[in-house]
Amino acid sequence: MPRFGFVRISSVCLRTAIADPAANVAEITRVLEQLPDSDIVLFPELCVTGYTCADLFGQSRLLEAAREQAQQLAERMARRQQLIVVGLPVAVDNGLYNCAAVLFQGRVLGLVPKQYLPNYQEYYESRWFRPGAASVPAEIDWSGERVPFGVDLLFQAEDVVVGIELCEDLWVPLPPSAFQAVAGANVLLNLSASNETIGKNRYRTDLVVGQSGRCIAAYAYASAGPTESTTDLVFGGHCLIAENGVLLAESPRVGDGQGLHRDSYFITADVDVERLRNDRRKTTSFDACAAHLPRRYRTIPFALSAELSGLRRSVSGTPFIPQDNAELHRRCAEIFGVQCAALAQRVSRLPDDAPLNLGVSGGLDSTLALLVAVKMCDYLGWPRTRIRGLTMPGFGTTQATRQNALDLMEHLGVAAEVFDIRPLCCDAFRALGHRPFGIALESLSAAELQAALAHVPPHEFHDLVFENVQARIRTLLLMSRGFVIGTGDLSEAALGWSTYNADHMSMYNPNCSIPKTLVRFLVRYVAEHEFEGAARETLLKIVATPISPELLPLSAEGTSRQATEASLGSYELHDFFLYHFLRNGFSPRKILFLSQHANFTQAYSRSEIEATLRTFYRRFFANQFKRSCVPDGPKVGSVSLSPRGDWRMPSDADAQAWLDSFAP
């Protein structure tokens, strides 16, 4: 398959034979045979000899054997289009260096020495090694060739640029990987020998994940394991792969409760270099750090294969929804906290007795907005009756949603009112000279029009004036009462699924950056964790109700004949597209590719996914004019469509270039 910017990395914990380079290289070879499709394979620090050789590092025979075996390894892998990184001691002039050797297609491309040598507590590396510094020679002799040597080496295959540091280098205040990233490296590798002590694994993981985020890079870490000498220490064998602040893969380790792993093992993940490049491009402060680079870097070329088999990476079908159960409660509390704080600040500018008006339809969005308003009142010690919920049934409102709205307001203890908008709508139709679906109004009452509308066949359901009048009457009634809390969500804004200057408008909208899939998730979460009895039952009924604006006529039986997802496609798909289009800047072809590997909550055919993606692009481009004038509201996640913040786009832009790029 095409790469779509993915690079496959494996981090290995090696079964080590201490001071036996031949045995270690044989084991490295055995592991590599299990990783034929990895682009980069990373082994631990000093893995060719073992990290715990101590004063044996002063033995010429050990150093000679290490170099011989590393060269043999390179030659054995000559037919592999694979970057292999191993650790070994390298003697240069009067010094000995703890190095990473970079092997590719039978050659040693370069040697990167460790810059920061720990020499405190249990570490004594300065007893044997010298730190890599700018004063080391730029090249050394290696098996009859001149091989680049130094801390200024980067390795590049088109858009993939690899930087390397060793163990302690990451733990210092200014890690070499930070400078490598600013110099262009987007894949950072760390060969390590990190011993295991109580609680150290968490700090180590935070270091790796945090550095990947600060550097907007992939960061792979491979540590020596429990077959190193245990004379004084136990090495954990912890391997990690992170990408821009997210942990993609983690290995077992000593002390994790999963038993002992004495044989070699590895983790593999596909990192997305295209996403990293897009993120760096958007983070305009990133390149400003180049003024602080301590040196110029040399770049050594290598090559990746043209294609990648499969995808070794989890792709969430619901990227806006928290995936980690351990983080679930904290994340939901955080979302509500941001919404409540934002609404509280805006409301604080109103008179103390100003009512907070909110249209409650019995649907998901108004339910979430009402829950936020109630929680805000509770936080601030205000009576919930300051919130005035108004439910406004129209020609498409079912008895079920109307009852859900009334029950919800009763359970939450807010002031509630019902206003039937149908008579006002009839007056508006007459004033406009409009015949809804061709029906002559003349002296028809609202109830008589409702009965006549039940006979309109679904294939004739196209009357925007009929829908827009209802939406605008509702907004008129709300705004005429004072301050209005908006309810529209991020997905509706992206697709333009709102009536301009109707449900599109309010005085403040706490939902504006919450996508539909997250709205549903949050309402369900609140129902299951914060309510019991009848209130929980009502909230779960709302979650289970098919999404609909309920603007088109009901059937003769009083059931809704309008389902949003039947018109637009699944919101799960639209939110998936929205995330990767806005957050990552991906092309339609890459989004389609990711959708084939995503863990959606239901199965979708390729044709359904592609048709929905086309709908997404058409509607997104056609509806920027609505997004250019929306009420204030808080940014909650990494994606927002506020024209004052994250998204500024001309209203007359054309989607054709995106639509033309779909694979045939």
Q: Does residue 237 belong to any structural domain of this protein?
A: yes
Taking the C-alpha atoms of residue 306 and residue 153, their distance in angstroms, rounded to an integer, is: 24
Do both 420 and 536 map to the same domain? yes
Do both 227 and 109 map to the same domain? yes
Do both 379 and 239 map to the same domain? no
Supply the DSSP string of 370-402, one letter for each residue. Answer: HHHHHHHHHHHT--GGGEEEEE---TT--HHHH
Q: What is the dihedral of CA 566, 568, 573, 579, to 10 degrees?
A: -160
> Do you know the residue count of the chain?
664
Q: For residue 321, which of 336, 331, 312, 333 has the smallest C-alpha distance?
A: 331
- Is 200 annotated in a binding site? The answer is yes
If pLDDT is split at 50, 70 and 90, which confidence band does 663 have?
low
- Is 311 annotated in a binding site? The answer is no
pLDDT in tens, 384-419: 999 999 999 999 999 999 999 999 999 999 999 999
Q: Look at residue 664 and tell me whether its pLDDT is greater than 60.
A: no
- Is 365 annotated in a binding site? The answer is yes
Active site (annotated) includes residue 167: yes
pLDDT in tens, 541-586: 999 999 999 889 999 888 888 889 999 999 999 999 999 999 999 9
Structure tokens at 271: 């990192």
**Residue 599: domain span:** 325-554+565-660
Please state, as a whole number, how many other Cβ atoms lie within 10 Å of the Cβ of residue 311.
16
- Is 590 annotated in a binding site? The answer is no
Tally of domains within the chain: 2
Taking the C-alpha atoms of residue 65 and residue 62, their distance in angstroms, rounded to an integer, is: 5
In this prediction, residue 258 carries a pLDDT of: 83
Percentages of the chain per state (helix, strand, coil), in multiples of 5: 40, 20, 40
Taking the C-alpha atoms of residue 494 and residue 619, their distance in angstroms, rounded to an integer, is: 8
Do both 237 and 342 map to the same domain? no
- Could you tell me which residues come within 8 angstroms of residue 322 by beta carbon, excluding any fewer than 6 positions away? 328, 331, 332
Q: Does residue 319 belong to any structural domain of this protein?
A: no
Taking the C-alpha atoms of residue 599 and residue 388, their distance in angstroms, rounded to an integer, is: 40
Structure tokens at 325: 């159960």
> 3-state DSSP call for residue 481?
coil
Residues facing 417 on adjacent strands: 390
Contact 151, 174 (CB under 8 A): no
**Phi-psi domain of 585 (left: phi exceeds 0; alpha: psi -120 through 50; beta: other):** left
Q: Does residue 559 belong to any structural domain of this protein?
A: no
Contact 280, 286 (CB under 8 A): yes
Structure tokens at 54: 């101590």
Do both 249 and 213 map to the same domain? yes
Q: Does residue 464 belong to any structural domain of this protein?
A: yes
Active site (annotated) includes residue 45: yes
Any idea what the Cα angle at residue 274 is, between residues 272 and 276, rounded to 5°? 75
Taking the C-alpha atoms of residue 71 and residue 377, their distance in angstroms, rounded to an integer, is: 71
Q: Which helix (H) or strand (E) holds 426?
A: helix 422-432
Q: Look at residue 248 and tell me whether its pLDDT is greater than 70.
A: yes
- Is 468 annotated in a binding site? The answer is yes
Taking the C-alpha atoms of residue 375 and residue 361, their distance in angstroms, rounded to an integer, is: 19
- Is 361 annotated in a binding site? The answer is yes
Of 261 and 217, more confident = 217
Q: What is the dihedral of CA 650, 655, 661, 664, to 10 degrees?
A: 170
Can you say whether the dihedral through the CA atoms of 410, 412, 413, 418 is positive or negative?
negative
Do both 89 and 238 map to the same domain? yes
Percentage of residues in the chain with pLDDT exceeding 90?
Answer: 85
Taking the C-alpha atoms of residue 132 and residue 152, their distance in angstroms, rounded to an integer, is: 10
Asked which of 278, 306, 334 is the last residue of a domain, the reply is 306
Q: Look at residue 279 and tell me whether its pLDDT is greater than 90.
A: yes
Contact 524, 543 (CB under 8 A): yes
Q: Does residue 451 belong to any structural domain of this protein?
A: yes
Do both 506 and 357 map to the same domain? yes
Q: What CATH number did the domain enclosing 591 receive?
A: 3.40.50.620
pLDDT in tens, 422-471: 999 999 999 999 999 999 998 899 999 999 999 999 888 899 999 999 99
Q: Active site residue: 47, 53, 99, 114, which one?
A: 114
Question: Residue 73 is which amino acid?
Answer: L
If pLDDT is split at 50, 70 and 90, which confidence band does 149 have?
very high
Do both 366 and 472 map to the same domain? yes
Q: Look at residue 1 and tell me whether its pLDDT is greater than 70.
A: no
Can you say whether the dihedral through the CA atoms of 55, 58, 62, 66 is positive or negative?
positive
CA dist list (Å): 515 to 127, 320, 495, 571: 58, 7, 11, 9
In this prediction, residue 417 carries a pLDDT of: 97
Do both 131 and 192 map to the same domain? yes
Q: Active site residue: 45, 196, 243, 467, which one?
A: 45
- Is 265 annotated in a binding site? The answer is no
Taking the C-alpha atoms of residue 614 and residue 333, their distance in angstroms, rounded to an integer, is: 35
pLDDT in tens, 92-114: 999 999 999 999 999 999 999 99
In this prediction, residue 380 carries a pLDDT of: 94
Taking the C-alpha atoms of residue 382 and residue 380, their distance in angstroms, rounded to an integer, is: 6
DSSP state of 44: -
Residue 135, CA atoms < 13 Å, CB-side half-sphere: 5
Q: Does residue 3 belong to any structural domain of this protein?
A: no
If pLDDT is split at 50, 70 and 90, which confidence band does 306 have?
confident
**Phi-psi domain of 554 (left: phi exceeds 0; alpha: psi -120 through 50; beta: other):** beta
Q: For residue 425, which of 455, 449, 391 has the smallest C-alpha distance?
A: 449
**Number of DSSP helices (H) and strands (E) in the chain, helices first:** 21, 20
Q: What is the dihedral of CA 413, 414, 419, 425, to 10 degrees?
A: -130
Of 329 and 221, more confident = 221
Task: State CA 301 to chain mean position distance.
Answer: 31
- Is 500 annotated in a binding site? The answer is yes
Contact 122, 89 (CB under 8 A): no
- Is 24 annotated in a binding site? The answer is no
In this prediction, residue 645 carries a pLDDT of: 87
Q: Look at residue 257 and tell me whether its pLDDT is greater than 80.
A: no
Q: Active site residue: 53, 167, 340, 425, which one?
A: 167
Contact 113, 167 (CB under 8 A): no
pLDDT in tens, 521-543: 999 999 998 889 999 999 999 99
Query: b vs e for 417-431, b when ≥16 Cβ sit within 10 Å of the residue's Cβ?
Result: eeeebbebbbebbee
- Is 363 annotated in a binding site? The answer is yes
Do both 274 and 332 map to the same domain? no
Q: What CATH number did the domain enclosing 238 receive?
A: 3.60.110.10
pLDDT in tens, 44-67: 999 999 999 999 999 999 999 999
Structure tokens at 85: 């990184």
In this prediction, residue 135 carries a pLDDT of: 75
pLDDT in tens, 223-244: 999 999 888 889 999 999 999 9
Do both 301 and 329 map to the same domain? no
Taking the C-alpha atoms of residue 336 and residue 23, their distance in angstroms, rounded to an integer, is: 57
If pLDDT is split at 50, 70 and 90, which confidence band does 18 have?
very high
- Is 362 annotated in a binding site? The answer is yes
- Could you tell me which residues come within 8 angstroms of residue 206 by beta carbon, excluding any fewer than 6 positions away? none
Interhelix angle for 364-380 vs 399-412, to 10°? 10
- Is 38 annotated in a binding site? The answer is no
- Is 259 annotated in a binding site? The answer is no
**pTM: predicted TM-score of the whole model, two decimal places:** 0.93
Q: Which helix (H) or strand (E) holds 494?
A: helix 490-495
Q: What is the mean pLDDT of the chain?
A: 94
Q: For residue 155, which of 95, 83, 63, 88 has the smallest C-alpha distance?
A: 83
Asked which of 255, 271, 306 is the last residue of a domain, the reply is 306
pLDDT in tens, 585-638: 999 999 999 999 999 999 999 999 999 999 999 999 999 999 999 999 999 988
Do both 22 and 171 map to the same domain? yes
Q: For residue 43, which of 69, 78, 21, 15 has the smallest C-alpha distance?
A: 15
- Is 366 annotated in a binding site? The answer is yes
Asked which of 249, 278, 306 is the last residue of a domain, the reply is 306
Q: Does residue 30 belong to any structural domain of this protein?
A: yes
Q: Does residue 493 belong to any structural domain of this protein?
A: yes
Backbone angles phi, psi at 272, to 5 degrees: -105, 95
Contact 210, 221 (CB under 8 A): no
Taking the C-alpha atoms of residue 194 and residue 209, their distance in angstroms, rounded to an integer, is: 16
- Is 120 annotated in a binding site? The answer is yes
